[in-house]
Amino acid sequence: MQLLKLESQHFYTSQAASPAYSQVCSDDEYADIDWDSIGFGLTPTDYMYVTKTSQQDDGFTEGQLKQYGNIELSPSAGVLNYGQGLFEGMKAIRREDGQIVLFRPDENALRMKVGAERMCMPSPTTTQFIDAVKQTTLANKRWIPPPGKGSLYMRPMLLGTGPILGLGPAPEYMFLVYASPVRNYFKEGSAPLSLYVEQEFDRASRGGTGGIKTISNYGPALRPLVKAKSKGFSDVLYLDSVDGKYVEEVSSCNIFMVKGNTISTPPIKGTILPGVTRKSIIEIARDLGYNVEERPVPVEELLEADEVFGTGTAVGVAPVGCITHNSRRVEYRTGDNSVSKRLLSTYMAIQNGLLEDKKGWIVELS
C-alpha cells in the first residue's frame, strides 16, 4: 500500500508540496460522479490519515496519509470486543470563490478528548486532530462537491486496536480520518421531518455514555430506528430514562422547540450529546434576539410548541413537520417564515462567507 508522509506546514501552502497532491487534487479537477445524485452514503475517496500509539508511547506519533482501504485488526482488538471506540463528524465546504473551509474543528477535537477520557483512551492533541483533518481534506480535494452541491463529510475515529482478552483498556490505539462526499442526511431532503416518540427503548442513562460520541451508543439505536422507519417516520425522538417524560434527543440530532420568541432545548447533563451545531445555533439565535433556554422540556410541552427543529453536523438545521406520541400526531410550523429557516440561513451564510465570521468559527484551507 502506498504511503504518503506529509509535512503539515508545506502541505497547506503549496500544491507542489507533494506529487500525489498535484495528481489527485488539482484546482480545476473534480471526481467523476453525479453530484446531484449523492445522498448520505459512503463514496470511497482517495486517501485516509492514520496514526498509532500504545500505552508505552508518549502520545500519537506523526501520522501518514495512505490510500483509502481496509485496516487490519486482531480478533481480540479492544474496539471489537469491548466497544472501545469514538468517532466525530464534521464537514469541509467549497465556497463559490473556491476556498475550502472547515467549521469549528477545535470543538470536535475537544469533544473527542472528553470522550477519550471517559473511555480510558489516549487522544490526539487539538493541533494533531485539526492537522489530520486538514491533510485528509486537501488530499481528497477533488471529492469536495461544487458549491451548493453538498460537502465532504470527515469522519475522525479513535479505536482501541490492541489485542486484549480480559476487560480493560486496549494496549494500542489508532487515530484515523476518512472522508466521503455527502448531501442530505434524510431521504426527505430538506422537507420537514416526521418524528416518532420512543417509549420502549432509552438512548442513554444517567452516568452512562450518552454525552460522548462513542460507537457503543449507536448500535442499540438501530432497532427502534428501523421500527420507526418501517412505519414511515424519519427518525426517533427519545425521552429521559428516569421519568420517561422529558425530551432528550433524536437518533441523529439535538432537538429544539420554539414558542413565541423563546427557543428551548434540553440541557447538556451527561445523557445528551453536546453537538457542535447545537452550540453554534444557540449562539446565533441569541445574536438574532431570541430568548434561548437550556432546560428540561416535558414532551407534553413539546407537543404544544409553535415549531420544532433538529440540529447536527449531518442534518444541519432540520425542520420537524410533525411528531407522533401515543397515537397523537401534532403538526408544526415550517417554511420560509419559520425560525429554523432563519437560523439555517444565517448558519450557512457564515460557513459560505456571505456573512462575516465574527466568532472565529471558520478555518480556511489554502
Find the CATH number of the domain harbouring 238: 3.20.10.10
- Point out the domain boundary residue: 135, 154, 182: 182
Residue 299 lies inside a defined structural domain of this protein: yes
Domain boundary among 182, 202, 231: 182
Question: Which tens digits make up the pLDDT trace of 42-58?
Answer: 999 999 999 999 988 98
- 8: cell is 503539515
Residue 15's pLDDT is: 30
| Residue 259 and residue 160 share a domain | no
Residue 20 maps to a domain: no
The reply to whether 252 and 150 lie within a common domain is: no
Query: What pLDDT is stored for residue 189 in this prediction?
Result: 63
> What angle do the packed helices 126-139 and 105-118 form, to 10 degrees?
120
Q: Which of 172, 221, 224 is nearest to 196 (CA)?
A: 224
H helical segments located in the chain: 8-13, 19-24, 78-82, 105-118, 126-139, 222-230, 276-287, 299-302, 339-351
113 and 203 housed in the same domain: no
Give the chain's residues under pLDDT 70. 1-28, 188-189
Quick one: 212 and 326 in the same domain? yes
4 part of a folded domain: no
User: Among the options 66, 91, 141, 213, which is catalytic?
Assistant: 213
Q: What is the pLDDT of residue 10?
A: 32
In a domain, 9, yes or no: no
Contact status, residue 333 vs residue 307, Cβ threshold 8 Å: yes
User: Is pTM beyond 0.75 here?
Assistant: yes
* Residue 213 annotated in active site: yes
CA–CA distance, 179 with 253 (Å, rounded to integer) = 20
Number of domain units in the chain: 2
Same domain, 97 and 154: yes
CB 230 within 8 Å of CB 295: no
Query: Do 261 and 177 share a structural domain?
Result: no
Residues 222 and 314 in one domain: yes
Domain boundary among 163, 182, 201: 182
Whether residues 174 and 228 share a domain: the answer is: no
| 114 and 228 assigned to the same domain | no
Q: What is the reported pLDDT for 17?
A: 32
Residue 233 domain-assigned (yes or no): yes
E strand segments, 32-171: 47-54, 64-67, 85-87, 90-94, 100-103, 151-160
51 and 197 inside one domain: no
From residue 127, alpha-carbon distances to 71, 108, 160, 361 in Å are 24, 12, 21, 16
What distance in Å separates the CA atoms of residue 284 and residue 316, rounded to the nearest whole number? Answer: 14
In-domain check, residue 207 = yes
Domain span at residue 77? 47-182
> Residue 212 domain-assigned?
yes
199 and 348 share one domain:
yes
Quick one: DSSP state of residue 246?
A: B
Cell 417516520 belongs to which residue? 233
Residues 174 and 210 occupy one common structural domain: no
Instruction: Residue 238: name the closest of 206, 207, 272 by CA.
Output: 272
Q: How far is it, in rounded angstroms, from Cα 199 to Cα 102?
A: 37
- Residue 95: CATH number of its domain: 3.30.470.10
Assess if residue 6 is contained within a domain. Answer: no
